Chains A and B, each alone.
Chain A
Amino acid sequence: MYGNAYIDPNEKFSSEEETPELLAAFQARIDAGDKIEPQDWMPAMYRKQLIRMIEQHAHSEIIGSLPEGTWITRAPGFRRKLALMAKVQDEVGHAQLLYSAAETLGKSREDMMNDLITGKSKYSNIFNYPALTWADSAVIAWLVDAGAIVNQLANSKGSYGPYCRALERICYEESFHLKYGHDNVVHLATGTKKQREMVQAAMTRWWTPLMHFFGPSDKASVHSDTLMRWKVKMASNDAMRQQFMDMYIPKIWDLGLTLPDPLLKKNTETGLWDYTEPDWEEFKRVINGDGPCNAERLAVRRMAEENGRWVARAINNEEAEHVRPFA
């Protein structure tokens, strides 16, 4: 659900003018490792799925800045405060980069914003959970960003040029976020009794949302096969989840923290992690709007949009002497 956008199985997948010749030539470019650029011919479904994916990713960045953002004013000490501010600023910058990448496919930022605040388009489910304590913000910075990196690194090898380039820059910045988050969690996990309790509680709270993060197992379908061949979808949800578990569960355990799943262990035969399936009904419920923070997140975004409209009206005023925004 971060980069791998939802695929509607009933959607019309191709159109008349998409002749077998055109499609074959398109596929050949992708197979040869070419990047598709905005002015190039592309199947309608390729365009549509990419818009959906990049837009949802952009929304995830901007909504994702909210739960951590609420801790900026409460961060303990200059070092953490400055690092968290820089991190959250980066996330808003990621949204900006991604909206620009999506715009190259023909949907305006304004339309995307409207679809976000009216609830028409989605964003990563994980941001519908609250960051209750400072330790939650630390766990988010470490592990949600770690999950995002797994997903974004895979997608950066995709076929659409502008998205890949945006992702390369984003991944570079995300690696600092992860370092900040890890350092923060380490300090709490090796700190005073209160700090340790705080971070353990946060880890327990965030485990299910983290398991949900990559989405349910993909169902095999013609759609998802085609999207894989077009290098729109780069890895299965399960493969990314396994990669994440492989990289981070040992690190979590090393810190003396526990995870709320008694079945969790690396299976020596399959080389994969065994785990209890998280509650996918909850996942569906939350993604469809009924999570602890959905309403609040959208309300904040809507308020920001509405409060800011007068600024947009003033700078778009044709009559006004024109000055380029400085920053």
Chain B
Amino acid sequence: MNNIDALKELLYKMADDQLIIGHRNSEWNGLGPILEEDIAFSSMAQDKMGQSEHLYNLLNQLGEADADTVAFTRNAPQFHCSHLVELPIGGYDFSLIRHFLFDFAEYLRFEALKTSAYQPLAQVAKKFFGEVKYHTMHANTWVYQLGHGNEESNGKMQESLNFAWDYALGMFEPGPAEEMLINENIFIGEEALQAKWLEVVIPLLEKSNLVIPEKSSWAPIYGGRTGNHTAHLQPLLSEMTEVYSIDPSADW
């Protein structure tokens, strides 16, 4: 693996994560618990989609196919997303916790990438940093509100956090060629990112009246980065490409 491949791997996992979580969050359309949240989830899902398209465009510059082809013609084993983003939307409590855990990771990833030695990625990171910051504020406000709301809402949030935690740790699955990226100051690496993430999310969750699962029980769920996915991903992709695949050469 040379460093272009390592870079592509980084871009693929970021773009795929954003595409798939954007897709999942867009499923909330018309089903949000209140109209304002319906709108907020849709707006953030659009941001994620837009960001993934941008990252696919960077891949295109590195010789990969165009964004539509890459997003709409691959099958599950060719995707690099984490299991966390593949899971069905579940209840609003799960979707909200996932949004919180994912978006803080994304925020910190972009923050680190703002100074990446790979200029095109540094520029994208600077461009999207503000958007993602807004998403984390949204997530934190709601997690706080429902963590404190009443017994019922606290219980639901806690249960979803317990369920999501190991999946969230799975986002930081180390890549095979990370050393190369770290040495060339392209990316700080998953381990360092996870440490930053824990430093940020643990106090916020505790402030929201939620309990972090016992550290000794943590068992990160890996596999997504190497194309081994949950059973939920392929049906999602089949749905996503249903119209596009009627005629991939057509102009839609």
Interface residues of A (CB under 8 A from B): 62, 65-66, 69, 71-78, 80-82, 85-86, 88-89, 92-93, 95-96, 99, 134, 187, 191-192, 194-195, 300-301, 303-304, 307-315, 317, 319-321, 323, 325-327
Task: Verify B29–A317 contact, CB threshold 8 A.
Answer: no
Whether A92 touches B39, Cβ cut-off 8 Å, given contacts A65-B30, A315-B149, is yes
Q: Which of B29, B153, B242, B246 has the most CB of A within 10 A?
A: B29
Task: Verify A85–B26 contact, CB threshold 8 A.
Answer: yes
Partner of B243, one of A76, A310, A315, A325: A76
Report how far A303 CA is from B33 CA in the complex, Å. Answer: 10
- Nearest CB of chain B from residue A182's CB, rounded to whole Å: 15
Kindly state whether residue B61 has any CB partner on chain A within 8 Å: no
Task: Verify B33–A313 contact, CB threshold 8 A.
Answer: no
Task: Verify A76–B30 contact, CB threshold 8 A.
Answer: no
Task: Verify A192–B29 contact, CB threshold 8 A.
Answer: no
- Nearest CB of chain A from residue B20's CB, rounded to whole Å: 11
Find chain B residues with CB under 8 A from A191 CB.
250-252
Report how far A61 CA is from B39 CA in the complex, Å. Answer: 13
User: Closest residue of chain A to B146, judged by CB?
Assistant: A314
Kindly state whether residue B49 has any CB partner on chain A within 8 Å: yes
Task: Verify A195–B250 contact, CB threshold 8 A.
Answer: yes
Among the 9-residue stretches B40-48, B75-83, B119-127, the one with 4 or more Cβ atoms under 8 Å from chain A is B40-48
Task: Verify B149–A314 contact, CB threshold 8 A.
Answer: yes
User: Closest residue of chain B to A317, judged by CB?
Assistant: B150
Task: Verify B153–A310 contact, CB threshold 8 A.
Answer: yes
Report how far A134 CA is from B145 CA in the complex, Å. Answer: 39
Give the number of residues in B that approach A within 8 Å (Cβ atoms).
Answer: 51
20 contacts between A and B (CB under 8 A): A62-B35, A69-B30, A72-B29, A75-B243, A77-B68, A78-B67, A80-B252, A82-B53, A85-B26, A85-B42, A88-B29, A88-B42, A89-B42, A92-B29, A96-B36, A191-B252, A195-B250, A301-B30, A311-B92, A320-B145
Task: Verify A326–B31 contact, CB threshold 8 A.
Answer: no
Report how far A321 CA is from B207 CA in the complex, Å. Answer: 12
Kindly state whether residue B4 has any CB partner on chain A within 8 Å: no
Kindly state whether residue B118 has any CB partner on chain A within 8 Å: no
Nearest 3 Cβ contacts at the A-B interface: A314-B149, A308-B33, A314-B153
Whether A92 touches B35, Cβ cut-off 8 Å, given contacts A73-B239, A134-B243, is yes
Kindly state whether residue B91 has any CB partner on chain A within 8 Å: yes
Q: Majority SS of interface residues in chain B?
A: helix
Which residues of B217-252 are within 8 A (CB) of A?
239-240, 242-244, 246-247, 250-252
Task: Verify B146–A303 contact, CB threshold 8 A.
Answer: no
Find chain B residues with CB under 8 A from A303 CB.
31
Task: Verify B138–A327 contact, CB threshold 8 A.
Answer: yes
Find chain B residues with CB under 8 A from A65 CB.
29-30
Task: Verify B144–A323 contact, CB threshold 8 A.
Answer: yes
Whether A92 touches B38, Cβ cut-off 8 Å, given contacts A74-B243, A307-B92, A311-B146, is yes
**Residues 19-38 of chain B: 1 if any A CB is under 8 Å from the residue's CB, otherwise 0?**
00001001101111111111
Q: Which of B92, B137, B144, B243 has the most CB of A within 10 A?
A: B243
Task: Verify B247–A195 contact, CB threshold 8 A.
Answer: yes
Partner of B30, one of A74, A304, A309, A315: A304
Whether A326 touches B26, Cβ cut-off 8 Å, given contacts A303-B31, A304-B31, is no
Whether A82 touches B49, Cβ cut-off 8 Å, given contacts A326-B142, A327-B40, is yes
Task: Verify B30–A325 contact, CB threshold 8 A.
Answer: no
Report how far A71 CA is from B34 CA in the complex, Å. Answer: 21
Find chain A residues with CB under 8 A from B8 CB.
none
- Nearest CB of chain A from residue B25's CB, rounded to whole Å: 10
Report how far A155 CA is from B42 CA in the complex, Å. Answer: 28
